[in-house]
Structures are given as structure tokens and as C-alpha cells.
Structure 1
Amino acid sequence: MEDGCFERLRCNNRTQCVVVTGSDVFPDPCPGTYKYLEVQYECVPYIFICPGTLKGIGAPTFVFEAEQQAGAWCKDPLQAAEKVFFMPWTPYRTDTLIEYATLEDFKSGRQTTTYKLPHRVDGTGFVAYDGAIFFNKERTRNIVKFDLRTRIKSGEAIVNNANYHDTSPYRWGGKTDIDLAVDERGLWVIYATEQNNGRIVVSQLNPYTLRFEATWETAYDKRSASNAFMVCGVLHVVRSTYEENESEASRSHIDYIYNTKLSQGEYADIAFPNQYQYIAAVDYNPRDNQLYVWNNFNVLRYDLEFGPPDPAEDATEV
């Protein structure tokens, strides 16, 4: 039986499936008869298990010093787990995504490829998910899906009523009015609306149809937040205050959480180490349970500490 590779890139609108066959995998079932073995398979969803309730954030691990003060970096939790996607951000000039094959290549500056995006990007809220990146199209409330394999735009969705282009950015500024996030439950949009008085709104977005599946309004003012991320369907809002602000002591912490499963929010106090004092992006990766952070030219990773898993929390298919 000849070696072969059967591949289907969009298995039932799920992540990539690859089946490798050969004599070392399936021996010839009928030696000398010149018959062959027929292989049938189907794709199943990738399953993430919620690691529990976030209890603490470790000290950052330094990865890379960038030339730009602001930007974002991430990995795709569903495909090409070793690849690093890197987007330095400059106002009105950001339209390029850089890919690295591994973290070591990223540290060494050995690029694999670059992607010219079909539109300029507002803010540092992009994410990679199942072979595509999602970003906020400049000067709009639109989210663009860009397919990394075909290098073309494969969809665009309007975030209805969302404030955009520096109307409700995070506290540092930077036009991240519309922030994207991924976690164990899929793809999320974090933004604010005038209807919610500039407070944070969270929506779950289907990454394949670009339809909004559910929306939650929170009580937290978005312009007071330094950044935010999702873990297990729970919004975590980072708040940082700095020494030059005489009305507040310098500190950084998770100030607010909102559980979309319970439709319930509450204030919190989980320390967030922030020695560089300019958090431009925070992204969670459900595959390795780490935060990917861009902070004042510094590209960082954070380990997270979780409490015991909630017995009521089931494995989540994405």
C-alpha cells in the first residue's frame, strides 16, 4: 500500500483533520493480492477542558523586545500550535501580520512569512483562531476575518451599536475600542455601547458564520479598563493605575469579572504584575493556559494559577 496523506481543511466547519496512512501504520491486509485498505474517518470538535477559576497571575516571562510601544501577539489554539502571529501597531499604518514558525524563531527574528491585510487595523485586539485572524477594520465597527491559507478576506461582520475608533478605547488609548478574545468556549468580542453608557459589552461570535450568538452587558466602564481577556466564558478586566496619577496609588490587578454562564458580574482583586506600566494587549490561549501580553515595547508571557475545577463545569466543544 502506497503512503498517502488525506486532508480536509474545513471538516464540518471544524478545525483541520489529517490522516496519514502507510505500511507502517496499516500493514497490507492481504499480502500478495494487490488489494488495498479503505480508510474512513470523520472530524470531531477539538475539546478544551476549563482549567478552573483564575486565582493568580505569575510573574511575566520576557520573550522579545519590540520596536513599537504597542502591538499584539498570539498563537492559534486550534491549528499550527507552534506558530507565532505578531502585529506591531502604529496608528493609521497597521496593515501587516508577521508569522514565525516557532517561539524560538520569534525570539531570533526569523520570519516565516508576512501577510498584507485587506484593510488597516484599529487597535491591538486581533486574534488567531482555526486558520484565520480576526481584527477590527480601521475607522469602523466591523470585524474582518482573514484566511491565512488563501490570504484573502473570508468574511466581515458589523458589531451593532459598538463604539469605535477611539470613542471607548482601553485606558491606555490606542483605538482598541473593539477587542477580540478566544478561550475554551470560542471567539468573543469585547466592546462598549452608548446604550450601555460606555460600559463593557461581551458578545460571543461564531467564527465560521460570523453571527453573534449571545450578548451580555456589564457594569464596568470600558475606558477605566487597561485591558481584558476571557477564560472559560468569564471576562477578566485588568485595571492599572500609575504613579503620575496622584489621585491613585500605582498598582495593577484584575478589578472585575463577569461570568457569561451565570450572567453575573462582581469586583475582584487579583494582582497583575506590571513593571513596564503600559499594557497594550492581553490575550489568553486555552491550549497552554497562558497570557500573551504586550507591555511598553516588551513582549511577555504569563503563567496562570487556577483553583480546583468547578464540578459543574463540563468539557466544552469548540
Structure 2
Amino acid sequence: MGTFLVLIAAAFCFVGGQHQGLIDYLEQRLVAIEGRISVWHEQSNRYATELLEFKQQMSALTESLEKGHAALLADAHDVGSRVDRLERELDYVETQNPAPPCADTDKNLMEPGIATVKEKNKAEYDKLSHCRDMISSIKAMKIVKKAGGPKGAWFKDTASGAGKVYVFNGTGEGVLYEFGSARDLAASAGLSRGRPLDLPFPWSGTGHAVYRGHAYYVTEGPEFQLIKYDLQNGSVADSAVFPAEDQVPVYGLSPETYIDLSADEGGLWALFATRDTESVISLAKMDPGSLEVEQMWDTPCPRENAEAGFVVCGTAYVVYNTRLASRSRVQCVFDIDGLVSSDEAPLVYFPKRYSTHSSLKYNPLEKLIYAWDDGYQILYKMVMKKKLEV
């Protein structure tokens, strides 16, 4: 009996020892887990602190970059102002040419002497059957006013020598405005002082001309028609379908204009383009009486980046620009007699002003170009020289 009790006691001691070992093991594991949790907590705090410091650094760097960006913008604006100033100075230098012009020069383009042609000059003009003048440079310019929309055309009668000025405002209207002189236009509030002339058909584009008491303009329908309008009688004197098929805009930068009429010392001309010769501009000599085409030429002048053109003494001058408006320049010249080529012609720059010219109209009696630039009516005084001059 005593031995049995001793065995039972020993068994209980053994079982109790096993439970104590399990408890000790679990306590050790809990301590290890608590240690790891403490390490993870410390690492999380450190990472949060580092992230906060990084965020603060990025915020300071972003603020510094914003200040630097503002400084760069200010510097770019300053550089742009300097470039504009330099371009104006270059324009001034380029327009200064000591060579004497081949026509009398008035100090002020708006003086009465320029509005009406002297009898001596008119007689010289009437004798010009084989004109040999070409443009050498631009001597002066004058901004007459700002009237009307961004696109249009204005000019005088290129043959009569009268002082009246005609304004085609827009690219598809039906009212032509007549002013007694360029001074009347300059003094007018908009176009209010002009005498409105209701045309029988609306015009298309900006390629119009006034020649020998008639307004010549293009109207668009199934076909392009040339209208000859008698300014004195207020009636249509004649009309004709322009003999060209599949026409495209003559200038890449003036998509509204398909036919650009121009009058010079020798008569009436038309600049146009078709799909057959889509990449270049064509030239036609017109009969101002019957509106028939007397002869056609394909010029080497590309349509791309062309903004306007005009004819002087049988030589077509095409003016180019860029879609982001910069400085207009005569870059291509075509002479029907072959006396002038683009390589031989002077590179003529127009002073930078507003946008691109929607029309350039040469007046042979005054040696002036009547320009329309983003709603501004501008006069350019041309210096001429002889075509075969060395």
C-alpha cells in the first residue's frame, strides 16, 4: 500500500513537470513575439518619420521649382521683348535703301500729292507699253487705320489716278464702300463715312481690283465667275466664267481666295491654282474689256505658306509667311518676259505688324501697295529699279 502511494505521487509530479515545461515554452514564445512586435513598431515609426521628412523635402523642392519656373517665364518674356525690339530694328535697317526711287517720293504717304497723280507722272504711265520696272525694296509704310474684319481688301482705281478709295470688308459680303480719299477713310469711324454700294452678287475671297472705273471681283457658285461692275452706273457691265477647272485656293494661308485679280501698268491679271498644278500658282493675263483670258503661265511659286501676291510690270510677286505669323517676305518672283528670276530678285521683307496679309494690291501710279493685315489698312511705299540693271 505504501509503495502504491509513492508511485501515484511520482506520476503526479511527472505530469505537473510536463505542464510547467509547456507553460515556460509558451511564455518564451510570447516574449519573442512581443519583441518582434516592438521591433516592427519601431520600424513603422521610423518609416513614418522618414516619409514625413521626404514629403517635406519634396514640398520644398516643388516650391523651389515653381519659383524657378516663374523666373524662367519672366526671362522668356524679357527675351521675347528683346527679340521684338531687334526685329523692329532689323525692319528699320532693311527698309533703308539709299538707291533713288524711279518715281517722285512724297514725305507723307497721306498727302494730297499722293492721292492724285501729277500730269507728268500720268503721262509717263500712259506711255508704258513695255514696262521694265521691278521692286527693289520697301522704303516706308503707314498704318492708315483699323476698320472692318480681319480679312478684306482696299485700293484705288489703278488706272484713272482718281483719289477715291474702295473697301471690300470681309471674304463674302455684298456691300462695297467708296471713300473720297484715303484721308476720309482714316478719319471715318469704322466704315461709317463711306458710300455703300450694293453689289448684285456677293464676292468671294479677297482677290478684287478696281480698274478704269470698274470693280472686278469673283463670285462663287457652281463655277467661279468674274464680275465687271460699273462704279459710275451701278450696274453689271459684263461677267464671265473663269476658264479653269478643279480650282483650289491660290494661297495656302488664305483659303478663302481662289482667284486673285491684280492690275498693273500693263492691264489686268489673275493669280489662281488648279488640282492639275496644285503645288504651284498659275498666272493669267486678262482682257479687262471682255474678261477673256489672253494667255496663261505656270509659275514656279509654291502655294504652301503663300499669303498673298501682286503683279508689277508683268512680274508676279508672291509673298510668304508661316502659320504662326512672323515676317512676310517676297520669296518667289515670276516674270513673263524671263528678265527676272527669284534668284536675281531682291529678298523684300515687309515690316512685321499683326498677322498675315489677306490682300496686297499694287498701285502703279503711286508705287504703293495697299495691304490688309488683320483688319489694319496699311500703305507700303515701294522703291523700284530697272529689270536688267546690274
Q: Could you list the runs of 5+ residues in structure 2 that have no partner in the other structure?
A: 1-124
Residue in structure 1 matching 2:199, options 117, 124, 143: 117
Query: What displacement does 1:168 show?
Result: 1.9
SS of the aligned residue for 1:170 comes to coil
- Counterpart Cα distance in 2 of 1:184 and 1:87: 22
Match of 1:251 in 2: 327
Residue in structure 2 matching 1:101, options 160, 170, 180: 180
Amino acid at match of 2:307: S
- Counterpart Cα distance in 2 of 1:200 and 1:146: 26
- Counterpart Cα distance in 2 of 1:76 and 1:239: 26
Residue in structure 2 matching 1:47, options 123, 127, 152: 127
Residue in structure 2 matching 1:133, options 196, 215, 224: 215
Q: Summarize deviations over 1:87-117 as a string: whole Å, max 9, x none.
A: 10144xx111110111111111263522111
Q: Summarize deviations over 1:150-193 as a string: whole Å, max 9, x none.
A: 111111122222554xx324233341110000111100010012
Amino acid at match of 2:275: E
Q: Are residues 1:283 and 2:364 paired?
A: no
SS of the aligned residue for 1:82 comes to coil
- Counterpart Cα distance in 1 of 2:387 and 2:218: 33
SS of the aligned residue for 1:262 comes to coil
Identity of aligned residues (%): 26
Amino acid at match of 1:160: P
Q: Summarize deviations over 1:196-223 as a string: whole Å, max 9, x none.
A: 2342111110111212111111122224
Q: Are residues 1:237 and 2:318 paired?
A: yes
- Note closer, same or farther for the CA distance 1:308–1:275 as it changes in structure 2 (3 Å cut): same
- Note closer, same or farther for the CA distance 1:263–1:142 as it changes in structure 2 (3 Å cut): farther
Q: Which has the higher contact order (CA 8 A, sep 6+)?
A: 1
SS of the aligned residue for 1:106 comes to helix
Query: What displacement does 1:310 show?
Result: 4.6
Query: What displacement does 1:144 show?
Result: 0.8
- Counterpart Cα distance in 2 of 1:216 and 1:204: 9
Q: Are residues 1:217 and 2:293 paired?
A: no
TM-score (norm 2): 0.61
Query: What displacement does 1:242 show?
Result: 5.2
Amino acid at match of 1:64: K
Match of 1:266 in 2: 342
Residue in structure 2 matching 1:173, options 254, 260, 267: 254
- Note closer, same or farther for the CA distance 1:162–1:184 as it changes in structure 2 (3 Å cut): farther
Amino acid at match of 2:373: N
- Note closer, same or farther for the CA distance 1:264–1:80 as it changes in structure 2 (3 Å cut): closer
- Counterpart Cα distance in 1 of 2:208 and 2:292: 18
- Counterpart Cα distance in 1 of 2:284 and 2:170: 24
Match of 1:315 in 2: none
Is contact 1:163-1:177 (8 Å) kept? no
Q: CA RMSD in A?
A: 2.3
Match of 2:271 in 1: 190
Match of 2:137 in 1: 56
SS of the aligned residue for 1:303 comes to strand
- Counterpart Cα distance in 2 of 1:185 and 1:160: 21
Amino acid at match of 1:299: Q
- Counterpart Cα distance in 2 of 1:258 and 1:128: 23
Is contact 1:290-1:301 (8 Å) kept? yes
Match of 1:147 in 2: 230
- Counterpart Cα distance in 2 of 1:163 and 1:228: 21
Query: What displacement does 1:243 show?
Result: 4.4
Name whichever of 110-119 and 220-229 sits farther off.
110-119
Match of 1:12 in 2: none
- Counterpart Cα distance in 1 of 2:165 and 2:385: 28
Amino acid at match of 1:260: I
Amino acid at match of 1:120: P
- Counterpart Cα distance in 2 of 1:195 and 1:117: 33
Larger-Rg structure: 2
- Note closer, same or farther for the CA distance 1:290–1:255 as it changes in structure 2 (3 Å cut): same
- Note closer, same or farther for the CA distance 1:56–1:221 as it changes in structure 2 (3 Å cut): same
